[in-house]
Amino acid sequence: MAATGVKIRRHAPWTPYAFMAPFLLVFLTFVIGPALLGLWMSLHDWDFMLEYRPFVGLENYAALFDSTSAVFQMFWNGMKATAVFTVASVPFLVAIPLGLAILLNRRFPGRTLFRAVFFMPYVLGVAVVGLLFRFMLDPNIGIVNGLIDLVGLDGVLRSLGVDWPIPWITAQPWAWISLVAMTVWWTLGFNTIIYLAGLQDIPAELYDAAKVDGASGWQQFRHVTLPGLRAVLLFVVTITILASANMFGQALLVTNGGPGDTTRTALIVMLGEGLESFRMGSAAAMSYLLAVFLGIVSIIQVLAMRERRRPRWRS
Amino acid sequence: MLGRGMFWLFLAVLTVIFIGPIIWMFLTSIKTNPEATAVPPTFLPDSPTFGAYEGLLRLDGSYPVLRWFLNSLLAATLHMALVLVLASTAAYALARLHFRGRGVLFVVIVSTLFVPGFVFLIPNYLIIDQLGWLDTVWALVVPGAASAFGVFFLRQFFSMLPGELEEAALIDGANQWQIFTRVVLPNSKPALATLAVLSFLANWNDFIWPIYVLFSPERLTLPAGLRLLQGAYTTDYPVIMAGAFVASVPVLILFVFTQRYVIEGVSRSGLKG
């Protein structure tokens, strides 16, 4: 600010505020306001149907940790479903796009076209993807079992003791396999593009130097590509975990939370509690607890990536 | 390293995996229901029919897909316009004007990018209810319009524009509004187009929010309506796939024409990490 003293006055003092005002009005009403209101709600018995919303302090939070409360089972079942989905899908969504990005980073005709092809499913909405996969995964008439049958793999599966037709939606572990596979299909293009941007920032001289030193393809990957992508990898892992924690539409549309309650994710539980049972204080507490969990996971990741780096520099 | 033939074969297989389901959706929508549910499945329809679409696209039907389509189009367009206005004005102030609290304000706006979206759902529902906006298009258009990403993205772009453009306009006697609308915006078309496409796509595809804030069948957006359709015609797959395809066509067309911007925008959003 001090440096502006010598500059000529370019605008009236209120001009910047006039430019900021429309954004700030909406930002305060629908971003900052709700964040604070949510905290306030989580400290009250905020039943939408009641006239009074008595202050209950941390009771809504305590109930989530009290195994005798009504919400305990439901909430942690949801957290478990979200955790299972995250643990199962993140490795695929980190590794497969990395492989694809390395493939697409090679120079060949039509490279841009293939970038677009792999990204295309990402522009579809979850409602469309959910309906499409529900149809394709139908055990009797779905194309997935149809193709397995067509190539004769069903006999192999049967001899391995697999139920036929495969109940993709109505039995575990098939339901999780289906949800993870469709999510990978749907969102993989996003991470691929981010890796590609990262790969293009690695100087070609590093690869040339590695080749001169006689490094194999794998050694180049380990000692040039991976270190060069460290920041990008951290970003990809973080946003993929965040996106997995938001899992909602796939489970609602394809498995409807089933079989049993196994795919009823934290977000389905939270929105059911808040917008179907109208216990909004309890739902707000759930959302903050889940957000805190995610914050902790992110911090651990940043620390872990830092730790891993040190020995490499010393060696 | 892969051999040349293997490389192309691999890419071809991947292409089938990624485009195949979308084509399957369309092929099913032009089959008859008996053919769509036949075992073993046929690939190309024996006698293609647009019967599934005819029912869906009637405005007076009990499942007014055309009405949902228009609702989605209206909401996504208004939302996109609002995002562009709010984000560009704010980004202009943050990038090119000097005022007290500018740094703090920018940090606060960007830090909200790190708060997961579900935190806002429950309280925003309450605010929308208080405003009397439940079951109206405003519930879809306004709440997400203060895009922190949009402000961040445009601010970076505006900051990189050369100061000489501004100087010349100032000497010609232009005020800040004129500099903004006649110099900065016209020189930022790629960034504005990217943000426009991304915000349109996000609003068009949103699923969680519309299924809770909309109730009347005639006011639903396509994603929310598709859920009803699934319940109503659980086994009429051509009808369900036709509905899904109608919801996909605009975004697929938009993507085909703007994929350079979309992919660019996504890769830039990654560079902030």
**pLDDT for res A3:** 45
- Which of B31, B122, B205 should be substituted to probe chain A, the one whose Cβ sees the most A Cβ atoms within 10 Å? B122
Q: Give the pLDDT confidence score for residue A6 in this predicted structure.
A: 43
* pLDDT for residue A314: 42
The pLDDT confidence band at residue B270, using thresholds 50, 70 and 90, is low
Q: Round to whole Å and give the CA distance between B103 and B101.
A: 6
Highest mean pLDDT among A44-48, A180-184, A237-241: A180-184
- CB within 8 Å: B105 and A20: yes
Least confident of A102-111, A168-177, A179-188: A102-111
Q: How far away is chain B from the Cα of A299, in angstroms, using its nearest Cα? A: 12
Q: Which residue has the higher pLDDT, A91 or A159?
A: A91
The confidence score (pLDDT) of residue B97 equals 92
Q: Which residue has the higher pLDDT, A6 or B60?
A: B60
- Distance separating alpha carbons of residues A221 and A227, to the nearest angstrom: 9
> What average pLDDT does range A36-62 have in this prediction?
90
Q: What is the mean pLDDT of residues A52-71?
A: 92
Contacts of B145 in chain A (CB under 8 A): 26, 30
| Tens digits of residue pLDDT in A196-210 | 999 998 998 999 899
Question: What pLDDT is attached to residue B204?
Answer: 97
Question: DSSP string spanning A239-304?
Answer: HHHHHHHT--HHIIIIITT-STTTT--HHHHHHHHHHTS-BHHHHHHHHHHHHHHHHHHHHHHHHH
pLDDT at B30: 95
Select from A33, A185, A235 the Cβ nearest to the Cβ of B270: A235
For residue A2, the model assigns a pLDDT of: 44
Residue pLDDT, tens place only, A212-258: 988 888 999 999 999 999 989 999 999 999 999 999 999 999 999 98
Q: How far is A121 from chain B (nearest CA, A)?
A: 7
pLDDT value of residue A4: 46
Chain A closest-CA separation from residue B206 CA (Å): 7
The model's pLDDT over B35-90, given as tens digits with 9 standing for 90+, comes to 998 888 888 998 899 988 987 877 666 788 999 999 999 999 999 999 999 999 99
- What per-residue confidence (pLDDT) applies to A5? 42
Q: Do A17 and B99 touch (CB under 8 A)?
A: yes
Does A270 have pLDDT greater than 60? yes
> What is the per-residue pLDDT for B2?
60
User: Which positions in chain B touch A280 (Cβ < 8 Å)?
Assistant: 122, 125-126
Cβ within 8 Å, pair B116-A248? no
Spell out which residues of chain A touch residue B123, defining contact as CB-CB under 8 Å.
33-35, 37-38, 41, 284
pLDDT band at A315, cuts 50/70/90?
A: very low
Worst-scoring range by mean pLDDT, A1-10, B67-76, B178-187? A1-10
By Cβ distance, the residue of A117, A143, A271 closest to B18 is A117
**pLDDT value for B112:** 94
User: Span B225-241, mean pLDDT?
Assistant: 86
Confidence of residue B91 (pLDDT cuts 50, 70, 90): very high
Q: Give the Cα separation of A95 and A221 in Å (integer).
A: 13
Integer Cα distance of B264 and A146 in angstroms: 38
- DSSP labels, A19-36: HHHHHHHHHIIIIIHHHH
Lowest mean pLDDT: which of A10-14, A140-144, B93-97, B183-187? A10-14
Yes or no, beta carbons of B93 and A20 under 8 Å apart:
yes
Contacts of A29 (CB under 8 A, 6+ apart): B127
Average pLDDT over residues B178-202: 94
Residue A8 has what pLDDT? 55
Peptide bond connecting A22 to the previous residue in cis, omega within 30 degrees of 0 = no
In this predicted structure, what is the pLDDT of residue A308?
56
A-chain CB neighbours of B113 within 8 Å are none
Rounded to the nearest angstrom, the gap between the alpha carbon of residue B29 and the centroid of all alpha carbons in its chain is 24
CB contact under 8 A, A34 and B237: no
Contact residues for A276 (Cβ-Cβ < 8 A; gap 6+): none
Residue A1 pLDDT exceeds 50 = no
CA distance A311 to chain B (A): 23
How does pLDDT run across B109-135, given as a tens digit for each residue? 999 998 999 999 999 999 999 999 999
- B60 CA to chain A: closest CA distance, Å? 23
B98, B118, B240: best to mutate for the A interface, most A CBs within 10 A:
B118
> Are the C-beta atoms of B267 and A232 separated by less than 8 Å?
no
Q: Give the integer Cα–Cα distance in Å for B133 and B261.
A: 33
Q: What is the pLDDT of residue B78?
A: 98
* Cα–Cα–Cα angle for A54, A72, A126, rounded to 5 degrees: 100
**Cross-chain Cβ contact B230/A253 below 8 Å:** yes
From the list A125, A248, A267, the residue facing B223 with the nearest CB is A125
What residues in A contact B94, CB-CB < 8 Å? 20
CB contact under 8 A, B212 and A119: no
Over range A71-94, report the average pLDDT: 97
Instruction: Report whether pLDDT(A15) > 90.
Output: yes
Contact A127 B259 (CB under 8 A): no
- Yes or no, beta carbons of B21 and A29 under 8 Å apart: no
pLDDT tens per residue, range A148-159 = 998 888 889 888
* Angle at which helices B237-271 and A230-245 cross, to 10°: 140
Of B21, B116, B259, Cβ closest to residue A291? B116
Please answer yes or no on whether B241 and A135 come within 8 Å at the CB atom: yes
What are the chain B neighbours of A245 within 8 Å (beta carbons)?
Answer: 116
Say yes or no to pLDDT of B13 above 50.
Answer: yes
Instruction: Write out chain B residues lying below 8 Å of A23, CB-based.
Output: 86-87, 89-90, 146, 151
Q: Which residue has the tokens 């890796």?
A: A195
* Average pLDDT of the residues in B228-233: 81
Residue A230 corresponds to which amino acid? R
What pLDDT is attached to residue B60?
63
Among the partner residues A100, A117, A127, nearest to B226 by beta-carbon distance:
A127
Give residues with Cβ within 8 angstroms of B2, minimum separation 6: B10
Q: What is the pTM of this model?
A: 0.92
A31, A250, A253, A302, best to mutate vs chain B, most B CBs in 10 Å: A31
